[in-house]
Structure 1
């Protein structure tokens, strides 16, 4: 919005407004705006949640220390989406299809999460949407988004179904229409992976910030023809604006972490985690860096794999591999303090993001 007001309309009157043309400036402004809006909103929204007794229900089979968190305000994901959406509308170019696709993804998956959180609170037993219903809704919205991405790509590229392997110069697979099914898998998988990780104070928010930062760099490079060509990355028309969108998300998540860090004053709930994961999946598909997402979001992947292995092992052998899954609970039950589990997972996430960034040069 501000791009059209200041750059398109006022550039003729003052050259200063040319600054609104640059992605780097708008990205920094979007991050600051998202942060400030979410901080201000939190100041009023958290007391509102407390007043209405919209609190978290705690599973009884988990670590006993978590029982003291019962009643902590939840649905805090609204804080993230408030700052994020307004910031994107203010600073991103709204004539770029990717911006609207990402906004649709955030709103649709946040809606699924909100329904789940609302039912948990209403019933008071931690029973939200049925797993099958939630999964079908995720599949539906992921299918819509995947088709939209494929259609938009078809306008700008002669290979909308191409899958690029990082670390290799010319290793590309043309999946054709099967790329739509692959995209659905990535979006739904990423959404649930972040959701599984959101079990400790700030545990999902920290790795989300490092993942956002990594994807933002790839989006910026992919949207610059000179840089993309030099670094042998697939050039994606308009993906520079995705950097602005991710910056807005970074600022909003940073503000949320202010209140979500240990000991948490508010939880994001499925309202936040499902939308965050879905956005990561969509952006990875847009910039053709699905493998980079697996690396940068390695914490989410590890958490998901721990659940899969635990369930598979128990069903086939009757034995559990971990004391409890997801794996962060395993370390808690090994008497690691919660703050230590969180910070060590954050450290691992930073290291994984650095590894992912090497894919920029190692081609």
Structure 2
């Protein structure tokens, strides 16, 4: 029901929102230093993430158990990061530049919210503070960690994935579809980890309250599919930072709550590679005044190499599916 509800909300409200943004000329601000092929997208409406956030919020309120503390973590990060993304998109629209909110202000806001949430999770978490790393044929590899280390890990995952998905959101359907696949994979992990027999069978940590997070995952899948209907190439609306930053923080939080950071980050490798390509490009340019890639993030590198946008996007989708399958192959191997 959460899937159907979130999908229906997006399919109903997004066409209305597209008409409104077109009438108000709330169009995507194109990077002047980006690929020339993107200049034709300057008349495509943006900030469609408002409908995604609205859909996720209403569906969680309607179908999730509000007595579950994990759901309040989700609502807190959803509203907080959506507010940051909304301000960022508003600045871009008003100032008519692709920078929006300054990097320092954006990063400080993200960090402040993530650290506050990290403290709350750490304080009220009833499961053991351990890192569980699953390697094929090796079971129960657990590393005990202290509170400070745990807070740092939570912070890095939430802020890191939020920005990684934000950086990935540069081609039609490139960010939202892998997010849908990853959310499906996380749903399965929620069911496994939240069931005592399954968790023991797969040699994972049992977490009592995590099955409720599967509702959040299905909500992301439903709203994501509804948005993809309009965002697939050629896109007639973009999600903007309010969508990418918020979805990224949600995925990061779910990874933290499921306590399968190692497996989940394997699923998210496409986003991580996108973020690393930017970091590598900046570092090499500062150190050697040379560029490692033709343009970063790496999907722009492939564009400048001559690959068509839809080819890049679909191959990134395929790569994400392969990574998710590999995660469950690892689980299957370690079950035996």
- CA RMSD in angstroms, aligned pairs only: 1.1
The match for 2:144 among 147, 167, 174 is 174
Q: What is aligned with 2:68?
A: 96
Task: State the 1:151 CA deviation.
Answer: 2.1
Distance 2:263 2:247 in 1: 16
Task: State the 1:357 CA deviation.
Answer: 2.0
Task: State the 1:117 CA deviation.
Answer: 0.5
Q: Secondary structure at the match of 1:232?
A: coil
Q: What is aligned with 1:296?
A: 267
The match for 1:139 among 65, 87, 111 is 111
| 1:226 aligned onto 2:197 | yes
The match for 2:318 among 323, 347, 358 is 347
Q: Is the 8 A contact 1:220 1:242 kept in 2?
A: no
Distance 1:209 1:102 in 2: 17
Task: State the 1:356 CA deviation.
Answer: 1.8
Q: What is aligned with 1:16?
A: none
Distance 1:148 1:357 in 2: 30
Report 1:261-272 matches (<5 A): 261-272=232-243
CA deviations over 1:264-300 (Å, ceiling 9, x no partner): 1110111011111111111111111111222111110
Q: What is aligned with 1:81?
A: 53
Report 1:237-248 matches (<5 A): 237-248=208-219
CA deviations over 1:187-238 (Å, ceiling 9, x no partner): 1101111011000011001111111111111011111111111111111111
Deviates more, 1:143-152 or 1:233-242: 143-152
Report 1:11-90 matches (<5 A): 29-90=1-62
Distance 1:230 1:139 in 2: 37
Q: What is aligned with 2:333?
A: 362
The match for 2:83 among 92, 108, 111 is 111
Task: State the 1:43 CA deviation.
Answer: 2.0
Q: What is aligned with 1:23?
A: none
Task: State the 1:321 CA deviation.
Answer: 1.1
Q: Secondary structure at the match of 1:273?
A: helix
Aligned residues: 331
Q: What is aligned with 1:14?
A: none
Question: 5+ residue gaps in structure 1?
Answer: 1-28
Larger radius of gyration: 1
Q: Is the 8 A contact 2:7 2:223 kept in 1?
A: yes
Deviates more, 1:183-192 or 1:353-362: 353-362
**TM-score for both structures, normalised by structure 2:** 0.96
Q: Secondary structure at the match of 1:165?
A: strand
Q: What is aligned with 1:312?
A: 283
Task: State the 1:81 CA deviation.
Answer: 1.2
Q: Is the 8 A contact 2:140 2:204 kept in 1?
A: no
Distance 2:89 2:38 in 1: 18
- Which structure 1 residue ranges, 4+ long, deviate > 3 Å from structure 2? none
Distance 1:99 1:66 in 2: 38
Q: Is the 8 A contact 2:164 2:272 kept in 1?
A: yes
Question: 5+ residue gaps in structure 2?
Answer: none
Distance 1:126 1:304 in 2: 18
